[in-house]
Amino acid sequence: MDGFIVSARKYRPQNFSTVVGQSHITNTLKNAIISKQLAQAYLFCGPRGVGKTTCARIFAKTINCFNISPNGEACDHCESCLSFNSGASLNVYELDAASNNSVEDIRNLVDQVRFAPQLGEYKVYIIDEVHMLSTAAFNAFLKTLEEPPKHAKFILATTEKHKIIPTILSRCQVFNFNRIKTEDISSHLAYMAGEEGVTYEPEALHVIAQKADGGLRDACSIFDQMVAFTGNHLTYKQVVENLNVLDYDYYFKITDGFLSADLPGILMIFDDILKKGFDGHNFLVGLGEHLRNILVSRDPQTITLLEVSENLKQRYAVQAQKCSLSFLLKALSVISKTDVNYKSAKNQRLLVEMALMQMTYLTASLDAEKKKDELEESVSGLPEATPASHPIALSQITALQEKEIKFATKPSLPFDQLKIKTSFSLNEVKNYSGSALKQIDTRVAEINEAKIQNAEVTLVDVKSSILRYADEKQNQGSRQLATIFKTSEITFVDNTVTLTLNNETQKEQLLMIKQEFVDELRRLLQNTSVGFNIELSQAVTQVRAYKPHDVFKAMSEKNPALLELKKRFDLEIDY
């Protein structure tokens, strides 16, 4: 137990070939070593735990190796390599700028630079977290960094490149380290597990890799923690429970609930998730990631973008076949809006539940749209009709279509927006197939039971309905809106209601609820074709003169002699 070494140190790469996920960096450094084109300073940038300091140490060891291999790797057998591997090399000087960031610390380092190495060709100075240096320390370092002795090489490492002053950046070769892919981390963890004699489920390693968020050091730390928890056997269930990660099954079940419009089941699953201590926002983000994974699984070319195990890829591919593209895009849009509003919401649970409700009934609205399209296709496929003595009015079928898509559109959608053929010959209907005729008969029979017609509307009806709406608003606490409706002049011409308001403020308030008012007015009047218009009274539209210039302009229009007076005496009007 005393000899235990954490995996991040025990399995730290010792040469370029064992560095995980940074081949674009390691290949460049090896080529520079082979061609002996070494810069005086390098800047390694990137997130934590991706190999910046590790690559700096490997680079320092390799350039001092006595027997560098043809592929640019250190031999690991010469005196220089052995001293480096044992931690006794005097050619590498590491400085932690987080705790040694003063001018004095940098001056001490600069004083050491002039001494040549005792063993090997170069002395390498690695400054970690270099962005923590003070501005004075950076300035004290500039001259040495630009023109160091031939034997001195500097490697600066940072997680926050934007904090490095430009004068330092211009003196370095900059290498940007990437976050390590989940697949690469998972493969490295599998290698470590094999070396340690740990059995595992591939899904368990993928969860650890995803939790590490692109950092191999974090992944190694989580791996050690899980091995201690599970006892040398990593299972998906145990890893998910210990890391407090939501199981994939929750998201698959909720998506199935969306497809079957099982709102009660979805809400119960969400309640179970909250009871287990998971945050609603994390659940929402995870659901968005799940639907995104389904979206990319719809095509064999994009399924490679999934950073999950092969078994999970198959599950995503199966569920992707059940989900339409329209549903996925609309559901992701709902999640995006909910994510933006989550932090500002007072009842965050209700906000997420409302989003789940919207996504549940997306499938219902999509089915209604699908039925509408199928009906239009079936009608458009019929032969062109000629006038006959016994026409069948397909406007009845239009009304049925309005009823079917009512749940997928706004209630105020006028019927005349549904553009289909309105009638055809009875004689030609007899020539249609039995199934088509039976479908039409069924449609007409259904509509005859719930036929909707626009009622006749008078000015008295309009005023009565508006006063009724105003009373409702007053009962809801909107007294100002109620006053606007009760005091405004109301006219009704050409099936259009016009409200003449007293001022611009009233107009702005009414515009905010215009659509709601129009929908309610049409419902009260039982007429979906009633229009609505807003006007201002003529007294409001008259321009009043408030400034001296405006006053003079108004007076001169009444008495042109004032203009001649202004011109003769060269008078000026204040603006």
SS (H, E, C) 472-497: HHHHCCCHHHHHHHHHCEEEEECCEE
CATH of the domain at 236: 1.10.8.60
Give the 3-state secondary structure of 48-112: CCCCHHHHHHHHHHHHCCCCCCCCCCCCCCCHHHHHHHCCCCCCEEEEECCCCCCHHHHHHHHHH
**Token output for 1:** 């137990």
pLDDT value for 449: 44
Q: pLDDT digits over 386-436, tens only?
A: 444 344 444 444 444 444 444 333 444 444 443 333 334 444 444 444 555
For residue 481, being part of any structural domain is answered with: yes
pLDDT value for 211: 81
Contact 462, 498 (CB under 8 A): no
Q: Which residues, other chains included, contact 307 with Cβ-Cβ below 8 Å and sequence gap of 6+?
A: 181, 182, 183, 206, 209, 210
Residues 187, 41 share a domain:
no
The residue among 428, 432, 258, 420 whose CA lies nearest residue 355 is 258
Vertex 70: Cα angle to 67 and 76 (nearest 5): 40
For residue 56, being part of any structural domain is answered with: yes
Residues 432, 401 share a domain:
yes
Residues 226, 80 share a domain:
no
Q: Which of 360, 386, 401 is the last residue of a domain?
A: 360
In angstroms, rounded to a whole number, what is the distance separating the alpha carbons of residues 491 and 498?
5
pLDDT value for 18: 84
Contact 392, 444 (CB under 8 A): yes
Residues 102, 40 share a domain:
yes
Element (H, E) at 349: helix 348-360
pLDDT value for 376: 57
Contact 215, 180 (CB under 8 A): yes
Phi–psi pair at 96, nearest 5 degrees: -90, 105
pLDDT value for 547: 66
pLDDT value for 505: 79
Q: Which of 243, 259, 274 is the last residue of a domain?
A: 243
Query: What is the DSSP-derived secondary structure letter of residue 409?
Result: S
Amino acid identity, residue 9?
Answer: R
Residues 386, 303 share a domain:
no
Q: Pairing relation of β-strands 489-493 and 496-501?
A: antiparallel
For residue 529, being part of any structural domain is answered with: yes
Amino acid identity, residue 36?
Answer: K
For residue 2, being part of any structural domain is answered with: no
Q: Which residues pair with 127 in a beta bridge?
A: 95, 156
Sign of the dihedral defined by the CA atoms of residues 295, 298, 301, 306, in that order: positive
pLDDT value for 377: 59
Using 70 as the pLDDT threshold, list the residues of the chain that sit under it. Answer: 1-3, 364-453, 539-547, 549, 557-558, 573-575
Residues 235, 331 share a domain:
no
Q: pLDDT digits over 442-475, tens only?
A: 555 554 444 446 788 888 888 888 888 888 888 8
CATH of the domain at 513: 3.30.300
Residues 440, 356 share a domain:
no
Average pLDDT of the chain to the nearest whole number = 78
Contact 536, 500 (CB under 8 A): yes
Residues 42, 104 share a domain:
yes
Query: Can you tell me which residue has the tokens 């609205």?
Result: 365
Q: Kindly compute the dihedral angle of the four CA atoms of residues 279, 280, 284, 287, in this order, to the nearest 10 degrees.
A: 70
**Token output for 529:** 């074709």
Query: What is the DSSP-derived secondary structure letter of residue 420?
Result: -
For residue 108, being part of any structural domain is answered with: yes
For residue 546, being part of any structural domain is answered with: no
Residues 19, 167 share a domain:
yes
Residues 156, 18 share a domain:
yes
In angstroms, rounded to a whole number, what is the distance separating the alpha carbons of residues 452 and 403?
10
pLDDT value for 451: 44
Residues 22, 152 share a domain:
yes
Q: Give the total number of structural domains in the chain.
A: 5
Beta strands in 212-265 (DSSP E): 233-234
Which structural domain, as residue segments, surrounds residue 481?
Answer: 459-541
Q: What count of Cα atoms within 13 Å lies in the side-chain half-sphere of residue 210?
A: 21
The residue among 166, 220, 217, 153 whose CA lies nearest residue 193 is 220
For residue 73, being part of any structural domain is answered with: yes
In angstroms, rounded to a whole number, what is the distance separating the alpha carbons of residues 30 and 101?
31
Strand order in the sheet with 123-128: 92-96, 123-128, 152-158, 41-45, 173-176
Q: Which of 325, 360, 395 is the last residue of a domain?
A: 360
> Measured between alpha carbons, how far apart are the two ends of the chain, in Å?
89
For residue 159, being part of any structural domain is answered with: yes
Residues 406, 267 share a domain:
no
Query: What is the DSSP-derived secondary structure letter of residue 542?
Result: S
Chain mean position to CA 89: 49
CATH of the domain at 65: 3.40.50.300
